[in-house]
Amino acid sequence: MFKLTVIRAVYILCLALCNNLVNADTTLVAVAANFSKPMTEIADSFEKATGHSAKLSFGSSGKFVAQIENGAPFEVFLSADESGPAKVEQDGLAVSGSRNTYAIGKLVLWSSTPGYVDSEGKILATGGFKHVSVADPKLAPYGAAAIDYLKKQGLLEKLQPLMVFGENITQTQLFVSSGNAELGFVALSQVYEDGHINSGSGYIIPTSQYAPIKQGAVLLTKGNDNPAAKALIDYLKSDTARSIISKYGYDLP
């Protein structure tokens, strides 16, 4: 009797798994570069939970807006700001009412060298470095936040000649980690793990010193008929996804 019960349970489980596979779809997602680590982890979790998969493409939010406007086949857009999703919705390229804020980012002044950046970021004023890396503020919200901070500190004019601009936040971090810039402004999620900065040295800039980096998601019209795209938008609001987002240093909306 026990053996029959076990066989029946295994059969039901296999049937459920087969149904998931049969109904599984894949969605193509444009993801802001700063969100690459958490989104990779969320995509794995999403596939295990729903059977659907997400194919991820990482880059600058500004460039993604241009690509979506020029017909790129993305179905979901996870931007580093709220203006990008609003723009594509205004252009009729996103499903009305599907926009939401999925994370609130934080900016950090970071160096790959331990002890180089002090705990209050005073090195920006005292100098002694040749280059500071910043994401292009026209394309990357984290770059705009860095410029906002430097203006408030009265340091923008002084540091402007030393700036090297990354096309996106990934390239900005690469300039620092490769030694082409001694320090730079990056997303906290790029250097944060288990509750602390995991390499080099950094100063987490108080969020009161720059405009909030509210990261917006939106379902694009090309994903409106894809169950995987809609499921992913919903999954980003789940406790599991929110836990992953928080683990990488983001605030939650």
Instruction: Report pTM.
Output: 0.82
Q: What is the pLDDT of residue 58?
A: 95
What is the per-residue pLDDT for 195?
A: 85
- In whole angstroms, what is the distance from residue 109 CA to residue 95 CA? 36
In tens digits, what is the pLDDT along the chain, a chain of 253 residues?
Answer: 545 555 555 444 444 444 554 568 999 999 999 999 999 999 999 999 999 999 999 998 999 999 999 999 999 999 999 999 999 999 999 999 999 999 999 999 999 999 999 999 999 999 899 999 999 999 889 999 999 999 999 999 999 999 999 998 999 999 999 999 999 999 999 999 878 998 999 999 999 999 999 999 999 999 999 999 999 999 999 999 999 999 999 999 9
**C-beta of residue 53 within 8 angstroms of C-beta of residue 228:** yes
Query: Could you give the CA distance from residue 49 to residue 248 in angstroms, rounded to a whole number?
Result: 21
Cite the beta strand spans of 112-247 per DSSP E. 132-135, 163-166, 183-187, 192-193, 196-197, 201-204, 213-219
Q: Report pLDDT for 52.
A: 97
Strands 132-135 and 213-219, sheet pairing: unpaired
The sign of the CA dihedral 140, 143, 147, 149 is positive
Q: Which residues contact 241 (CB under 8 A, 6 or more apart)?
A: 42, 45, 46, 102, 235
Mutual orientation of helices 61-69 and 83-90 as an angle, nearest 10°? Answer: 10
Q: What's residue 194's pLDDT?
A: 77
Asked if residue 98 lies in contact with residue 219, where contact means CB atoms within 8 angstroms, the answer is yes
Closest CA relative to residue 102, chosen from 75, 68, 79: 79
What pLDDT was estimated at residue 8?
57
pLDDT at res. 193: 81
